[in-house]
Amino acid sequence: MQIAIVGTGYVGLVSGAGFAELGHDVTCVDLDAARIQGLCRGEVPFYEPQLAALVQKNLRAGRLQFTTSAADAVGGAQIACIAVGTPARTDGTADLTAVHATARAIGRALTGFTVVVTKSTVPVGTAEALAPLVAAHTTHPFALASNPEFLKEGDAVHDFLEPARVLVGADDPRAIAALRELYRGVMLTGDRMQVMSLRSAELAKYAANAMLATRISFMNEMARLCDAVGADIDAVRAGLGADPRIGSQGLFAGPGFGGSCLPKDLRALHALGESTGVELGVVAATLRANEAQKRLLGERIAAHFGGALAGKRIGLWGLAFKPETDDIRDAPALALIAQLRAAGAVITAYDPAAMPSARALLGDAVALAPDAYAAAEGADALVLVTEWRELRRPDYARLRATMRTPALFDGRNVWSPDDARAAGCSYAGVGRGGQAAHTG
């Protein structure tokens, strides 16, 4: 099939390369000319495991093309996917400016019957509202479908090629048939396509993110309670997760959730509840708990120094909102950095992939170290915010020898408290049984 994808961010580029890998002829379009020029040379503009190889392979095979011209991409395509950003406005609602502009551009570019698919995460009713925008610019027939994307940054290629499910919101049989054909290559081990109404598909995406975020906020609250009562969140998690009605996936306490999706999607869902008069108390509580959680590590570090952080040197490991990505949008590390800097601390950070994005966003607000141990050198405390594999088993003796005071704050509960203390460091996790760092 001939496929057009508008937007070459995480969703658009992974989908474009993924559909090409499944044997389709894909043209990806983006407004960002520099990004498109790079992509034509096989250069992926962000870090996502396996993606560069997938893009390069399909470029070479001639199944994947890049352009800044929506007309070139959409003309002749059977399916045109909208994969542009839907950032939060200040009131929490989703900003649909790019989605609407894309719908108009697709309308102008149609040359025959085309299925127009929203892959961006959009509020309920958005796909229906696109119909007049497309129709205003074309006389050609088209059908609308919603196909929300569930890929996880850091494992996006795998998620795309082996999806847990493919959601299709559509009522036009031609749209359903086209999407079935589009995804045929990932259905070999079973039909994972769920067909529902446009509105159900749009809501299912937000509901999934709200449930994932709620589990995280719930575990973060339990972790606070663990610290207050001397219990261990890892043990509580094991006991909780063994219940098949609960399951153990995504039940980790940490520095609060972040990234480009969960915070903005929960805010958009909450706004949808407000606009429809439906009180979404769980969603509101999840967001509130997350704001508190994002301050926890900073509060613990401040408490460790008796509230006197001015001039203290803090080493920070991990800037990306999760491992295996360079995405720092709404990353917990950014909130922590702002909190520590406001208290007068001086920060040196290290991240295996996200330092260029951090440099672009933060300028000189934080020093960036060439490697993890350089970030810890001479520091009064070291805090782990993102559990990259290379940061999970530090050399505690080396930290003890090179830090000014070896106070370790493990925001992801991946370090060994026993090993850290045996090496003479103090250790504090999140919900590992004590509010203050204990010196071993």
> Which parts of 248-363 fold into alpha helices (H)?
262-276, 281-304, 332-342, 355-362
Binding residues for ligand NAD, how many (CB under 6 A)? 26
Query: Minimal distance in Å, beta carbon 100 to ligand NAD?
Result: 9
| 431 to 136, 230, 321, 322, 394: CA distances (angstroms) | 56, 8, 20, 19, 20
Contacts of 82 (CB under 8 A, 6+ apart): 6, 7, 99, 102, 103, 106, 116, 117, 118, 119, 120
Residues 317 and 383: their CA atoms lie apart, in Å, by 6
Asked if 204 interacts with ligand NAD (CB under 6 A), we say no
CA angle at 261 for the pair 48 and 322, rounded to the nearest 5°: 45
Query: Minimal distance in Å, beta carbon 375 to ligand NAD?
Result: 27
Contact 30, 137 (CB under 8 A): no
Contact pick of 55, 210, 261, 319 for ligand NAD (by CB under 6 A):
261
Known catalytic membership, residue 28: no
| Part in contact with ligand NAD (CB under 6 A); list of ranges 83-91, 182-190, 229-237, 368-376 | 83-91
Binding-site string for ligand NAD from residue 139 to residue 158, where x marks contact by CB under 6 A and - marks none: ----------x-x-x-----
Contacts of 175 (CB under 8 A, 6+ apart): 115, 117, 143, 144, 145, 168
- Using the minimum distance from each CB to ligand NAD, give the nearer residue, 121 or 348: 121
Q: Which residue is nearest to ligand NAD, using beta carbons?
A: 9
Residues 104 and 424: their CA atoms lie apart, in Å, by 63
Computed on alpha carbons and rounded to an integer, the radius of gyration of the chain in Å comes to 23
Which of the residues 99 through 118 are near ligand NAD (CB under 6 A)? 101-102
User: E strands, 128-270, where?
Assistant: 142-146, 166-169, 193-196
Which of the residues 338 through 367 are near ligand NAD (CB under 6 A)? none
Asked if 9 interacts with ligand NAD (CB under 6 A), we say yes
Contact pick of 27, 93, 120, 126 for ligand NAD (by CB under 6 A):
120
| Part in contact with ligand NAD (CB under 6 A); list of ranges 6-14, 244-252, 299-307, 380-388 | 6-14
Binding-site string for ligand NAD from residue 11 to residue 50, where x marks contact by CB under 6 A and - marks none: xx----------------xxxx--x---------------
Instruction: Give the residue numbers annotated as catalytic, written as ranges.
Output: 261
List residues binding ligand NAD (CB under 6 A). 6-12, 29-32, 35, 83-86, 98, 101-102, 120-121, 149, 151, 153, 260-261
